[in-house]
Structure 1
Amino acid sequence: MTSDSRTPGLSRRGVLAGAAAIAGAAALTGCGSGPKKAGPGTTGADALRQALPRYIPSSSVAPDIPGVAGANGAASDPAFLSYPANPARTVASPPGAGGTYVTRTPLWGAIPPSDGNSYYEAVNAALGATLRMQPADGNSYVDNLPALFAAGKLPDWTQIPSWGNQKLNMGTAVERFVDLTPYLAGDKVAAYPNLANLPSAAWQAGVWNGKLYGIPSFSSPNSFPGYFFHRKDIVDAAGLSADVKNAEELFTLGKALTDAKAGRWAFDDLWPYLLFPFRVVSTWNADPSGKLIHQYETPGIVEALNFAARLAKAGYVHPDALAGNTGAGQQRFWSGKVVISGGGTGAMDGDDAKGGRAADPNYVRGAVKVFDAAGGTPLIQLGSGAGWFSYLNKNLSEAQVRECLAIANFLAAPYGSAEYLLVNFGAAGVDYTMKDGNAILTERGQRDVATSYQFLATGPQVSLVKNGFTEVVRDYAAWQADAVKYATRPLFFAMNISEPSQFGGIGQQVEDTILDVRTGRKPVDAFTAAVANWRRQGGDELRRFYEGIRDKHGTGQ
């Protein structure tokens, strides 16, 4: 198998990032603050500009398909069809000074051996330092972090994904970590060229209380939560097209693709990505008068619910999807039982193609072009540049902090560099070999190499060949190049807002009702009633809280 910076768990990353971004444009953390002022964590635009590192793009490696600039700061990922034959070196000498540091990172997959691990040995030798990698089960990773905080047993270097912010009360928890502003803000980042090569948006959600704490991983200038995918082979064989221009064309396509007697339905679960065509791309929105309204209160969500219910009642949605059996969704898609499904953008890669071909030799995944339900100009939500951040323990000395940043600079080397090849594949001839211009893990590499160092720091994401599926890269690059034209930043874009804890559960009854309405079990009036109840239970008070944030700190636009 071929591995890359999106190895074990990072297709899952695409799904998780999508769920997190749809749930809210801001990174929300719970605290006990009153509803009329921002609690710990919030940063205004002026303070943010002072804390962010300056973006200094690298020209050390040229992609086969360059990224394309889009709207609102979005850009498609550059794409590579093979690894450069002569990888550039971006770090002249080992960055470490002989230090030893304990790390903690998540991992989805088998935990590799720590003793006699050729991968760890090769990377640490090149670093000139020892990182004691302690990957932990990604499924329970965030749940286990509070105990480490409470016991005061944080390692030297810790990865905290964005969906852990609320559980950890990151607005105040960051006091346990090093303020990196004096080391990296503005031009100071130039001392670390690979870190400077990370877009400014990648750092933004790592800023808390006006100070930079987080080092980003898996950053991307587009960071789309997800969209719709289709079985291109099935659609093509039927003489149809998935490039719909509006919701009615999607409905008509659903009718043409559904054959329940043959065990095939047009759609799996399209929610929450169905919100985008109906122009719901932000949790909070300003109406024409300037009043903030929640996405629950927008006309678009009612239209999206009515359309989803219409698909369900017409019989175009797979029964298991309607029953909430999401775990088998990928298998339904691979086997052709459904033709169109919603999902995170990380789902479209060579690993998916390999799994799909095992289920159906004709399998080809395609991405539906971004469209508007009414046939107007499309919109797609632009997420923050990164959702994964690593933090350094504040007990480290200044010399140790600088050593760790130099190591992070090595780990953040761009795709196509000699350093990236080492960090992601280990030792040449031991952990991997090259085939058809791409690295292939050996049997030992499959045992020892795991996504671990990458959770501490990585270069910007790129599209690349996995398992030999070159056309997947070309197709995804083309979809991104089109989608970035319609990217829009949600209100409170990438702002770390500490939302008062009393509002934590008030939306659950609305979400439960949304499920019942979009699957056709309840009328849309039930949703309207649930929203009215949400307002009484604290929604209006939460609105005033966000209006206070806007008045004091702006909206991140």
Structure 2
Amino acid sequence: MQSGATPAPDAGAGLSRRGLLTSIAVIAAVPLLDACGSPKEKNSGTTSEGDLSKALPAYAPSDLVKPDIPVIAGANGAATDPAFLAYPASPVRTVNGQVGHGGTYVTMTPLWGAIPPSNGNAYYDAVNKQLGATLKLQPADGNTYGDLLPPLFAADKLPDWMNIPSWNTTKLNFGEAVRTKFADLTPYLAGDKIKQYPNLAALSTNAWVAGVWNGKLYGLPIYSSNAVIAGMYYYRKDLLDKAGVSADVKSVADLETIGKALTNAAAGQWAFDDLFGKDAAYIYQIFGFPGTGYPWTTDSAGKLVHRYETEGIVEALNWHAKMVKAGYLHPDAVADNSQNAKQRFWSGKVAVCADGTGAWNGDDAKSGTAATPGYQRQAFKLFSATGGKPTVQLGNGASMYSYLNKKLNDGQIKELLAIANYLAAPYGSAEWLTVNFGTAGTHYTMKDGNPLLTEQGSKEIATTYQFLACPASASTVQSGAVQVTKDAAAWQADMVKYAVKPLFYGMNVSEPAQFAALGQPMIDMMTDVKLGRKPISEWTSAVDTWRRQGGDDLRKFYDGIRDKFGTGK
């Protein structure tokens, strides 16, 4: 399954060229503060609901490509990704006529994986030929990408077109920089203006919201999805079936039953890996408190309450520590060693783990590391800790955006938007094949109805153009695992029924720099308590310290945002 928006590298599973994990990250640039501690309007980045509606493109879905499993609408604007069991035998063309006008542009994107050669790259030549322009691609190591950006911004030496992940904006004063460095796309794409670029218009409204800063549209969404969540709880169906244990989990009590049945330390098998995640990245949706990207909720009186202050996180910490004490977690998980977490799941050392959505793609069954015959990954349906109705917090429809340099003239902006429209051609189209697989016979062949890279394709092709513009995510077959795609689509169809939008959804709130250091001590304490190293009383004390050292001031900051801009719900 190819799924979703792209996360920060520490969001769970590793990033690959074709399977990108989902992660939700609030965009926290560094605004200037006035004497009262509130953000100056010109530098806040935040947009009110009214201004947001004026800047957003109209949504015009396309029916040119028919998925095998269609999109299913859920609650609060959530929807499943379209699913394909095989690539259409006769791919349609979605772009007719001339695309570019011969321009030459320098681009910059992150890349997690080997950087392909730039000189003599037949894939680059083939795509540029279709684009009618020359994009000089400059992919850089995604793991250190954020370190490259501040010097470029300071020296004003930005490329013509670049990708900036949301988690790389924190050191860029982005609420201000986006206005001074990048082209305002509102006059080109707002409302019905986007319809001259049909493939871009087919990206959902939720995909664009975090590309709006200071009431204007700047960003083109990358790997957007209306089913964006942090991840899920996976289980080894083959192991549960062998033990005669039901996977119909409706509460943490049911998980405890699995914990007892699937743990046999003498045999080197434990039920669970870490089910909490860094900064409660996975467990929050089960215990009903806000996630990391949108950490605020309200109490019965309407007061803003941070996720650290909720009863839900206390209950989650206590429960996870209880599982550790019971001996249900693998010793490496208890030691906070996540390096071999995937291997532990693949080899059957653990039966249940938490991971991002991209981990469910069929490739792991052919990794050569799954020691158990009949290996089968599945995911529990959404459930709540107490057995009540679950909820899942939606994140931004995209967590990566690409931006055009403000120095480009009107004609160049229009040329690049036409190119973006080509790059955003949907899965199943002729253009998508070219952008993602290059030239038939040279870079790929078709096998079992799906494109497969040749040796040359594996050397020359990497995720490059796709980080400039791309279609919405689709669930697709990888490694011939058709059933995996069906299972994942069914899981999404159930999940989207429970979607809720958090406070400040899609508002690009830019937190002042003085609050940047507040989180790490809490993450450290969370780790100690969830693994049973410290008692819950230490967490309570840490929350009090958090409030005194800036948490209460951060609340006042968000109260100011709420008074001025609303909450985005």
Fold-level similarity (TM above 0.5) = yes
Aligned match for 1:78, one of 78, 82, 103: 82
Amino acid at match of 1:277: I
Q: 1:56 to 1:215 in 2, by over 3 A?
A: same
Match in the other structure for 2:61 = 57
Conserved 8 A contact 2:2-2:20: no
Contact kept in structure 2, 1:227 and 1:343, CA below 8 Å: yes
Residue 210 of structure 1 is aligned with which of 205, 215, 230? 215
Question: Could you state the TM-score of these two structures normalised by the residue count of structure 1?
Answer: 0.96
Whether 1:275 aligns to 2:284 is: yes
1:424-465: CA deviation from partner (whole Å, max 9, x where unpaired): 000011100111110010110011111100000111101000
Supply the AA of the counterpart residue of 2:108. Answer: R
The 1:493/1:28 distance shift into structure 2, 3 A limit, reads same
Question: What is the DSSP-based 3-state SS (H/G/I as helix, E as strand, rest coil) of the residue aligned with 2:171?
Answer: helix
SS at match of 1:216: strand
Aligned position for 2:455: 443
Which position in structure 2 is the counterpart of 1:539? 551
Asked if residue 520 in structure 1 is aligned to residue 532 in structure 2, the reply is: yes
Matching of residue 256 in structure 1 with residue 261 in structure 2? yes
Kindly state the Cα deviation for residue 352 of structure 1 after the two structures are TM-superposed. Answer: 2.8
Paired position in structure 1 for 2:297 = 285
- Residue in 1 that maps onto 2:115: 111
Report the alpha carbon displacement of residue 249 of structure 1 after superposing the two structures with TM: 1.0
Residue identity in the other structure for 2:568: G
> Using the alignment, how far apart are the partners of 1:425 and 1:204 within structure 2?
30
Question: Relative to structure 2, which stretch is displaced further, 339-348 or 506-515?
Answer: 506-515
- Does the residue aligned with 2:29 lie in a helix, a strand or coil? strand
Cα distance in 1 for residues equivalent to 2:31 and 2:4 = 34
Distance 2:371 2:152 in 1: 42
Stretches of structure 1 that go unaligned for 5 or more consecutive residues are none
Maintained 8 Å contact 1:281/1:379: no
Quote the residue 2:230 is aligned against. 225
Question: What secondary structure is seen at the aligned counterpart in 1 of 2:509?
Answer: strand
Q: Which residue of 1 aligns with 2:174?
A: 170
User: CA 1:167–1:352 in structure 2 vs 1: closer, same or farther (change >3 Å)?
Assistant: farther
Larger CA deviation: 504-513 vs 299-308: 504-513
Cα 1:86–1:7 shift into 2, 3 Å: farther
Q: What displacement does 1:354 show? A: 2.4
What is the CA distance between 1:495 and its match in structure 2?
1.4
2:357 matched residue in structure 1: 345
Q: Report how many aligned residue pairs link the two structures.
A: 552
Measured against aligned partners, the alpha-carbon deviations of 1:209-261 in whole angstroms (never above 9, x if no partner) come to 11100001100011111111111111122111222111111111111111111
**2:72 partner amino acid:** V
Read off the aligned partner of 1:215 and give its amino acid letter.
L
Q: Give the distance between the partners of 2:409 and 2:395, measured in 1 at CA.
A: 34
2:80, 2:467 → 1: CA distance? 22
Give the match for residue 194 of structure 2.
189
**Percent identity over paired residues:** 59
State the match for 2:417 in structure 1. Answer: 405
- 1:372-383 counterparts in 2 under 5 A? 372-383=384-395
- Judge conservation of contact 2:162–2:403 (CA < 8 Å) in 1: yes
Instruction: Tell me the distance in 2 between the aligned counterparts of 1:64 and 1:358.
Output: 29
Question: Displacement, 1:41?
Answer: 0.6
The letter for the 2-side match of 1:31 is P
- TM-aligned CA distance change 1:417 to 1:19, over 3 Å: closer
Q: What residue number does 2:482 align with?
A: 470
* Structure 1 vs Structure 2 CA RMSD: 2.0
1:321–1:141 Cα change, 3 Å:
same
Partner of 1:128: 132
| Change over 3 Å in CA distance of 1:46–1:198 after alignment to 2 | same
Contact 1:205–1:496, Cα closer than 8 Å, also in 2: yes
What is the aligned partner in structure 2 of residue 238 from structure 1? 243
Q: Hey, what does 2:151 align to over in structure 1?
A: 147
Q: 1:433 aligns with which of 442, 445, 461?
A: 445
Query: Could you tell me which amino acid in structure 1 is paired with residue 290 of structure 2?
Result: V
CA contact (8 A) 1:72 1:488 kept: yes
Which stretch shows the higher mean deviation, 301-310 or 488-497?
Answer: 488-497
| 1:500-515 map, 5 Å | 500-515=512-527
Is the CA contact 2:5–2:228 (under 8 Å) kept in the aligned structure 1?
no
How far the C-alpha of 1:8 sits from its partner, in A, is 13
CA contact (8 A) 2:211 2:219 kept: yes
Aligned mates of 1:32, 1:261 — CA distance in 2: 58
Q: Can you list the C-alpha shifts for 1:301-357, whole angstroms capped at 9, x where unaligned?
A: 100010010001100011111111111111111111111111111111022332266
Cα pair 2:21 2:358 within 8 Å, conserved: no
Secondary structure in 2 aligned to 1:205? helix
